[in-house]
Amino acid sequence: MSEIEIEVVLVEPKYDGNIGAVARVMKNFGFKSLTLVSPCEIGDFGRAMASHARDILENARIISSIDEIEADILVGTTSISGRDDADHLRYPCLTPEELIRGLKGVKGRVAILFGREDFGLFNEELRKCHILVKILTNPEYPTLNLSHAVAIVLYEMSKMRGRGERKVTRKENIERLMRHLDELFEELSYPKYKKDKTLMIVYRIIGRASLTTREYMTLMGIIRRIRRRLKSLKEEGS
Protein backbone atom coordinates (compact mmCIF):
# COMPACT_ATOMS: atom_id res chain seq x y z
CA MET A 1 0.00 0.00 0.00
CA SER A 2 1.12 3.47 -0.81
CA GLU A 3 1.55 6.02 1.96
CA ILE A 4 -0.36 8.56 0.00
CA GLU A 5 -3.93 9.15 1.19
CA ILE A 6 -6.42 10.04 -1.49
CA GLU A 7 -9.64 11.92 -0.85
CA VAL A 8 -12.25 12.28 -3.58
CA VAL A 9 -14.11 15.60 -3.44
CA LEU A 10 -17.27 16.23 -5.47
CA VAL A 11 -18.12 19.91 -5.65
CA GLU A 12 -21.87 20.60 -5.76
CA PRO A 13 -22.88 17.41 -7.58
CA LYS A 14 -26.44 17.67 -8.95
CA TYR A 15 -27.44 14.07 -9.60
CA ASP A 16 -27.46 11.48 -6.86
CA GLY A 17 -26.94 8.73 -9.45
CA ASN A 18 -23.52 10.22 -10.12
CA ILE A 19 -22.66 10.37 -6.41
CA GLY A 20 -23.64 6.73 -6.00
CA ALA A 21 -21.65 5.69 -9.08
CA VAL A 22 -18.61 7.55 -7.70
CA ALA A 23 -18.91 5.71 -4.36
CA ARG A 24 -19.01 2.40 -6.20
CA VAL A 25 -15.96 3.05 -8.33
CA MET A 26 -14.06 4.29 -5.28
CA LYS A 27 -14.66 0.98 -3.60
CA ASN A 28 -13.78 -0.88 -6.82
CA PHE A 29 -10.35 0.72 -6.68
CA GLY A 30 -9.98 0.54 -2.91
CA PHE A 31 -10.43 4.22 -2.01
CA LYS A 32 -12.54 5.18 0.97
CA SER A 33 -12.59 8.84 1.68
CA LEU A 34 -15.36 10.79 -0.03
CA THR A 35 -16.11 14.45 0.62
CA LEU A 36 -19.20 16.17 -0.78
CA VAL A 37 -19.38 19.96 -1.07
CA SER A 38 -23.04 21.09 -0.85
CA PRO A 39 -24.38 18.02 -2.65
CA CYS A 40 -27.93 17.33 -3.85
CA GLU A 41 -29.99 15.00 -1.71
CA ILE A 42 -29.14 11.32 -2.03
CA GLY A 43 -32.21 9.18 -2.69
CA ASP A 44 -32.96 5.58 -3.62
CA PHE A 45 -31.41 5.88 -7.07
CA GLY A 46 -28.14 7.19 -5.69
CA ARG A 47 -28.02 4.36 -3.16
CA ALA A 48 -28.82 1.81 -5.88
CA MET A 49 -25.99 3.14 -8.05
CA ALA A 50 -23.60 2.82 -5.10
CA SER A 51 -24.52 -0.87 -4.99
CA HIS A 52 -22.13 -2.55 -2.51
CA ALA A 53 -20.46 0.76 -1.65
CA ARG A 54 -23.21 2.31 0.44
CA ASP A 55 -20.81 2.46 3.36
CA ILE A 56 -18.75 4.98 1.42
CA LEU A 57 -21.86 7.08 0.79
CA GLU A 58 -22.88 6.89 4.42
CA ASN A 59 -19.44 7.84 5.68
CA ALA A 60 -19.05 10.71 3.24
CA ARG A 61 -18.05 13.98 4.84
CA ILE A 62 -20.32 16.85 3.88
CA ILE A 63 -18.88 20.37 3.82
CA SER A 64 -20.04 23.65 2.37
CA SER A 65 -16.88 25.05 0.82
CA ILE A 66 -13.64 23.70 -0.55
CA ASP A 67 -11.83 25.79 2.06
CA GLU A 68 -12.81 23.12 4.58
CA ILE A 69 -10.84 20.41 2.78
CA GLU A 70 -8.09 19.02 5.01
CA ALA A 71 -5.45 17.91 2.57
CA ASP A 72 -1.92 18.88 1.74
CA ILE A 73 -2.31 18.88 -2.01
CA LEU A 74 -5.43 19.93 -3.91
CA VAL A 75 -5.74 18.54 -7.41
CA GLY A 76 -8.37 20.16 -9.62
CA THR A 77 -9.85 18.43 -12.65
CA THR A 78 -11.07 20.25 -15.72
CA SER A 79 -12.30 19.39 -19.18
CA ILE A 80 -10.93 22.64 -20.62
CA SER A 81 -7.19 23.08 -20.60
CA GLY A 82 -5.35 26.31 -21.25
CA ARG A 83 -3.83 26.33 -24.70
CA ASP A 84 -0.64 28.07 -23.63
CA ASP A 85 1.10 30.10 -20.94
CA ALA A 86 -1.23 33.02 -21.57
CA ASP A 87 -3.92 31.11 -19.72
CA HIS A 88 -1.97 30.80 -16.48
CA LEU A 89 -5.04 29.58 -14.61
CA ARG A 90 -5.42 26.40 -16.64
CA TYR A 91 -1.89 25.88 -17.89
CA PRO A 92 -0.24 23.48 -17.65
CA CYS A 93 -2.76 20.71 -17.16
CA LEU A 94 -1.31 17.29 -16.45
CA THR A 95 -2.68 14.07 -17.83
CA PRO A 96 -3.71 11.53 -15.13
CA GLU A 97 -0.53 9.60 -15.99
CA GLU A 98 1.62 12.66 -15.43
CA LEU A 99 -0.21 13.23 -12.16
CA ILE A 100 0.68 9.82 -10.76
CA ARG A 101 4.23 10.20 -11.99
CA GLY A 102 4.39 13.46 -10.09
CA LEU A 103 2.84 12.03 -6.94
CA LYS A 104 5.00 8.92 -6.88
CA GLY A 105 6.70 8.63 -3.55
CA VAL A 106 4.66 11.41 -1.97
CA LYS A 107 3.56 10.84 1.61
CA GLY A 108 0.59 12.89 2.62
CA ARG A 109 -3.03 13.65 1.93
CA VAL A 110 -4.14 14.50 -1.58
CA ALA A 111 -7.65 15.73 -2.43
CA ILE A 112 -8.86 15.36 -6.00
CA LEU A 113 -11.64 17.78 -6.82
CA PHE A 114 -14.30 17.10 -9.43
CA GLY A 115 -16.62 19.96 -10.38
CA ARG A 116 -20.31 20.36 -11.15
CA GLU A 117 -21.84 18.27 -13.95
CA ASP A 118 -22.61 21.42 -15.96
CA PHE A 119 -20.04 24.07 -15.04
CA GLY A 120 -17.14 22.08 -13.62
CA LEU A 121 -14.97 23.90 -11.08
CA PHE A 122 -15.22 27.68 -10.97
CA ASN A 123 -12.14 29.79 -11.63
CA GLU A 124 -11.78 30.77 -7.98
CA GLU A 125 -11.80 27.07 -7.09
CA LEU A 126 -9.22 26.19 -9.76
CA ARG A 127 -7.06 29.04 -8.42
CA LYS A 128 -6.83 27.23 -5.07
CA CYS A 129 -5.69 23.95 -6.61
CA HIS A 130 -1.99 23.05 -6.59
CA ILE A 131 -2.16 20.78 -9.61
CA LEU A 132 -4.58 20.70 -12.54
CA VAL A 133 -5.48 17.54 -14.37
CA LYS A 134 -7.29 17.02 -17.63
CA ILE A 135 -8.23 13.76 -19.27
CA LEU A 136 -7.48 14.01 -22.98
CA THR A 137 -10.76 13.64 -24.84
CA ASN A 138 -12.23 14.25 -28.26
CA PRO A 139 -12.54 18.04 -28.82
CA GLU A 140 -15.91 17.41 -30.47
CA TYR A 141 -17.33 16.25 -27.17
CA PRO A 142 -14.82 16.67 -24.37
CA THR A 143 -17.02 16.56 -21.27
CA LEU A 144 -16.98 13.23 -19.53
CA ASN A 145 -19.79 12.08 -17.29
CA LEU A 146 -18.77 12.94 -13.71
CA SER A 147 -18.43 9.35 -12.49
CA HIS A 148 -16.48 8.40 -15.64
CA ALA A 149 -13.95 11.13 -14.91
CA VAL A 150 -13.58 9.85 -11.35
CA ALA A 151 -13.32 6.24 -12.59
CA ILE A 152 -10.47 7.10 -14.95
CA VAL A 153 -8.50 9.15 -12.44
CA LEU A 154 -8.87 6.50 -9.73
CA TYR A 155 -7.96 3.78 -12.18
CA GLU A 156 -4.70 5.61 -12.89
CA MET A 157 -4.11 6.30 -9.20
CA SER A 158 -4.61 2.62 -8.40
CA LYS A 159 -1.67 1.84 -10.67
CA MET A 160 0.57 3.53 -8.13
CA ARG A 161 -0.02 0.56 -5.91
CA GLY A 162 1.82 -2.69 -6.24
CA ARG A 163 1.06 -4.57 -9.40
CA GLY A 164 1.74 -7.72 -11.27
CA GLU A 165 -0.58 -10.69 -11.38
CA ARG A 166 0.74 -12.37 -14.43
CA LYS A 167 3.96 -14.15 -13.82
CA VAL A 168 5.77 -14.62 -17.10
CA THR A 169 8.07 -17.48 -17.80
CA ARG A 170 11.82 -16.98 -17.51
CA LYS A 171 14.11 -16.05 -20.35
CA GLU A 172 16.00 -19.35 -19.99
CA ASN A 173 12.78 -21.22 -20.63
CA ILE A 174 12.16 -19.35 -23.86
CA GLU A 175 15.71 -20.16 -24.94
CA ARG A 176 15.15 -23.80 -24.12
CA LEU A 177 11.91 -23.80 -26.10
CA MET A 178 13.71 -22.29 -29.10
CA ARG A 179 16.45 -24.95 -28.91
CA HIS A 180 13.88 -27.73 -28.94
CA LEU A 181 12.14 -26.12 -31.86
CA ASP A 182 15.46 -25.82 -33.67
CA GLU A 183 16.05 -29.54 -33.18
CA LEU A 184 12.55 -30.35 -34.38
CA PHE A 185 13.09 -28.26 -37.49
CA GLU A 186 16.35 -30.13 -38.13
CA GLU A 187 14.44 -33.39 -37.92
CA LEU A 188 11.93 -32.01 -40.41
CA SER A 189 14.85 -31.22 -42.77
CA TYR A 190 14.22 -27.52 -43.06
CA PRO A 191 16.85 -25.92 -45.32
CA LYS A 192 19.15 -23.86 -43.09
CA TYR A 193 18.18 -20.36 -44.38
CA LYS A 194 14.51 -21.21 -44.09
CA LYS A 195 14.92 -22.74 -40.64
CA ASP A 196 16.54 -19.62 -39.22
CA LYS A 197 13.90 -17.34 -40.67
CA THR A 198 11.09 -19.55 -39.37
CA LEU A 199 12.63 -19.72 -35.90
CA MET A 200 12.90 -15.94 -35.83
CA ILE A 201 9.24 -15.55 -36.76
CA VAL A 202 8.12 -17.98 -34.05
CA TYR A 203 10.40 -16.22 -31.57
CA ARG A 204 8.68 -12.92 -32.30
CA ILE A 205 5.19 -14.39 -31.91
CA ILE A 206 6.12 -15.97 -28.59
CA GLY A 207 7.82 -12.79 -27.48
CA ARG A 208 4.79 -10.65 -28.11
CA ALA A 209 2.56 -13.07 -26.25
CA SER A 210 4.83 -13.07 -23.14
CA LEU A 211 4.19 -16.67 -22.12
CA THR A 212 3.16 -17.82 -18.68
CA THR A 213 4.97 -20.80 -17.19
CA ARG A 214 2.00 -23.02 -17.93
CA GLU A 215 1.90 -21.92 -21.54
CA TYR A 216 5.61 -22.53 -21.87
CA MET A 217 5.17 -26.05 -20.54
CA THR A 218 2.26 -26.67 -22.88
CA LEU A 219 4.29 -25.64 -25.93
CA MET A 220 7.20 -27.78 -24.74
CA GLY A 221 4.78 -30.67 -24.34
CA ILE A 222 3.56 -30.30 -27.92
CA ILE A 223 7.08 -30.21 -29.34
CA ARG A 224 8.14 -33.21 -27.28
CA ARG A 225 5.13 -35.19 -28.37
CA ILE A 226 5.82 -34.46 -32.06
CA ARG A 227 9.49 -35.40 -31.74
CA ARG A 228 8.68 -38.62 -29.90
CA ARG A 229 6.19 -39.61 -32.56
CA LEU A 230 8.62 -38.86 -35.38
CA LYS A 231 11.25 -40.92 -33.63
CA SER A 232 9.05 -43.93 -33.03
CA LEU A 233 7.78 -43.90 -36.63
CA LYS A 234 11.34 -43.74 -37.88
CA GLU A 235 12.34 -46.67 -35.72
CA GLU A 236 9.37 -48.69 -36.92
CA GLY A 237 10.36 -47.92 -40.52
CA SER A 238 13.95 -49.00 -40.16
Interface positions, 108-127, toward a copy of itself (CB under 8 A)? none
Residue from the set 89, 127, 136, 175 that interacts with a copy of itself by CB under 8 A: 136
In sequence order, the β-bridge partners of residue 120 are: 116
Pair 13, 39: CB distance under 8 Å: yes
Exposure letters 65-101 (e unless 16+ CB within 10 A, then b): ebeebebebbbbbbbebbeeeeeeebeebbebeebbe
Hey, which residues between 176 and 215 contact a copy of itself (CB under 8 A)?
Answer: 184, 187-188, 190, 198, 201-202, 204-206, 208-215
CA distances in angstroms from 224 to 24, 84, 179, 205, listed in the order given: 49, 62, 12, 20
62 vs 188, beta carbon nearer a copy of itself: 188
Please work out, in degrees rounded to the nearest 5, the angle formed at the alpha carbon of residue 121 by the alpha carbons of 115 and 127: 140
In sequence order, the β-bridge partners of residue 11 are: 37
Residue from the set 40, 63, 73, 144 that interacts with a copy of itself by CB under 8 A: 144
Hey, which residues between 149 and 168 contact a copy of itself (CB under 8 A)?
Answer: 151-152, 155, 158-159, 163, 165-166
Residues in contact with a copy of itself, shown as a per-residue x/- string from 15 to 54 under the rule CB under 8 A: --x---x--xx-xxxx------------------x-xxx-
64 vs 197, beta carbon nearer a copy of itself: 197
Amino acid at residue number 165: E
Q: Please report how close the Cβ of residue 64 comes to a copy of itself at its closest, in angstroms.
A: 29
